[in-house]
């Protein structure tokens, strides 16, 4: 159904601008970076063909003449790019590269690039957006006013739902990479004590308090995940982990979905093992109808956003500009 998303204008435009006529760049899933992002800078690099979305069946035909592929979630392996005899470079519009068969690319002599660090500010900002939505009961108070219950109320302040300050609380971070450190620094500015846990056992980072996993779980008022998915983090947050957390704790996951056992999180929220959770990532995306978390309708307990933390306009523009430079340097 997305075959019509081939943008022939981009091909003719790139040629008219004197790009490298013998170099063909193919975007296989531009919808994953948003249709509001200007990709005209790629026209100077050669002939450009853009597809909004590509099925596994469509890919072999679409890539057969490509020199450079730009993809986000598309699986890159022998099945999908075996027909691409001219392929020299695969650019991933993300940090994660789980979709690449790197052994196959190495065997073919095909280079690949990914992008790190482009979304730090965006993900950090979204971390605090999820926190404050839950911590300050924003949905409840918004509904209270919009339902006109505040009109002619008895007093000027409504105290039905209580909220607390970040100041003086303990914030535990799982994964102290670039994003984790940025979150830590802002949390400190709010007056929180910040501790962190390294699932891989990395050495302590100067200026940050490293603790073991159990200490982080049992002492933190807020736990946020900013770690990659690997053998150390898969299913890290399970029933046993949630049981060790404070019943007043808020849990946030902005790392990868499979770090959390979703059934265990569902049970922890339903039984009151923890107070609330904010998620931007899930084990299966888009969300499966069988995901147990879909049964929770109480917005004070759970907020899920559809993997948007990385996707500020600035972050997406930054991402695509970095890839332009990567291709230019490679060529």
Note whether 295 and 194 are same-domain residues.
Answer: yes
**Residue 68 belongs to what domain range?**
3-116+313-330
- Asked if pLDDT for residue 66 goes beyond 50, the answer is yes
Q: Measure Cα distances from 6 to 28, 70, 80, 204 in Å.
A: 9, 14, 18, 49
35 as an active site residue: the answer is: no
- In a shared domain, residues 99 and 132: no
Same structural domain, 136 and 206:
yes
Considering all CA atoms of the chain, what is the largest pairwise distance in Å, rounded to the nearest integer? 74
Percent over 90 (pLDDT), the chain: 92
88-101 mean pLDDT: 95
Q: How far apart are CA 114 and CA 65, in angstroms?
A: 22
User: Are 112 and 124 found together in one domain?
Assistant: no
Q: 165, 214, 284, 285: which one is catalytic?
A: 285
Whether pTM > 0.85 for this model: the answer is: yes
The per-residue pLDDT for 21 is 55
Q: Provide the pLDDT for residue 98.
A: 87
| C-alpha to C-alpha distances, 17 to 25, 48, 65, 233, nearest whole angstrom | 15, 12, 21, 48
Active site residue 307: yes
What percentage of the chain has pLDDT greater than the value 70? 94
**DSSP-H helix ranges across 109-212:** 120-135, 138-146, 178-189
Half-sphere exposure (Cβ direction) of 134: Cα atoms closer than 13 Å = 26
Could you tell me the sign of the dihedral formed by the alpha carbons of 183, 185, 190, 192, in that order?
Answer: positive
pLDDT digits (tens, 9 = 90+) for 110-135: 999 999 999 999 999 999 999 999 99
Task: Tell whether 129 and 277 lie within a shared domain.
Answer: yes
Which among 299, 305, 249 is positioned nearest to 141, based on CA atoms?
Answer: 299
Residues 130 and 98 in one domain: no
Of the residues 108, 139, 193, 307, which is catalytic?
307
CB 133, CB 111: distance < 8 Å: no
> What pLDDT score does 96 carry?
87
Confidence of residue 9 (pLDDT cuts 50, 70, 90): very low
Residue 208's SS3 state is coil
pLDDT of 22 reads 78
Beta strands in the chain, from DSSP E residues, in sequence order: 24-27, 47-50, 68-71, 89-92, 111-113, 170-174, 193-197, 209-210, 222-225, 250-253, 276-279, 302-304
Domain count, the chain: 2
Among the listed residues 256, 262, 316, 318, the single catalytic one is: 256
Residues 14-24: tens digit of each pLDDT: 443 444 557 99
- CATH assignment at residue 173: 3.40.50.720
Do residues 172 and 192 lie in contact, with contact meaning Cβ atoms separated by under 8 Å? no
Residue 256 falls in the annotated catalytic set: yes
185/318 same-domain check: no
Identify whether residues 15 and 29 lie together within a single domain.
yes
Q: Are 229 and 260 spatial neighbours (Cβ–Cβ below 8 Å)?
A: no
Same domain, yes or no, for 32 and 94? yes
**Cβ-based neighbours of 217, under 8 Å, separated by 6 or more:** 172, 223, 241, 244, 245
Average predicted confidence (pLDDT) for the chain: 93
Give dist(CA 121, CA 313) in Å, integer. Answer: 11
- Shared domain check, 66 and 124: no
Same domain as 217, residue 124: yes
Residue 124 and residue 104 in one domain: no
């Amino acid at each position: 159904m997305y075959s019509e998303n081939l943008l022939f204008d981009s091909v003719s435009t790139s040629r008219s601008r004197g790009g490298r006529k013998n170099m063909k760049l193919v975007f296989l899933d531009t919808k994953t970076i948003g249709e509001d992002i200007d990709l005209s800078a790629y026209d100077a690099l050669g002939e450009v063909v853009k597809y909004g979305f590509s099925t596994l069946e469509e890919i072999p035909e679409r890539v057969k003449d490509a020199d450079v592929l730009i993809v986000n979630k598309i699986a890159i392996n022998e099945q999908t790019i075996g027909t691409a005899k001219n392929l020299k470079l695969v650019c991933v519009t993300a940090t994660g590269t789980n979709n690449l068969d790197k052994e196959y690319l190495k065997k073919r002599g095909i280079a690949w690039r990914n992008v790190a660090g482009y979304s730090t500010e965006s993900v950090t900002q979204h971390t605090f957006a999820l926190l404050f939505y839950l911590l300050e009961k924003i949905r409840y108070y918004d509904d209270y006013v919009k339902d006109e219950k505040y009109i002619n109320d008895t007093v000027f302040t409504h105290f039905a739902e209580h909220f607390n300050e970040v100041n003086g609380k303990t914030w535990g971070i799982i994964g102290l990479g670039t994003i984790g450190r940025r979150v830590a620094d802002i949390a400190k500015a709010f007056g929180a004590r910040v501790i962190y846990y390294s699932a891989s056992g990395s050495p302590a980072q100067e200026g940050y308090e490293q603790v073991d996993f159990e200490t982080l779980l049992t002492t933190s008022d807020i736990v946020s995940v900013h770690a990659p998915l690997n053998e150390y983090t898969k299913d890290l947050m399970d029933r046993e982990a949630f049981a060790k957390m404070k019943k007043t704790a808020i849990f946030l996951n902005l790392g990868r979905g499979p770090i959390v056992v979703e059934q265990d999180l569902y049970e922890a929220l339903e039984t009151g093992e923890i107070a609330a959770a904010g998620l931007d990532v899930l084990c299966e995306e888009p969300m499966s109808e069988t995901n147990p978390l879909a049964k929770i309708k109480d917005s004070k307990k759970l907020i899920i956003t559809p993997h948007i933390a990385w996707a500020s306009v600035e972050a997406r523009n930054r991402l695509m500009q970095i890839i332009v430079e990567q291709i230019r340097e490679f060529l």
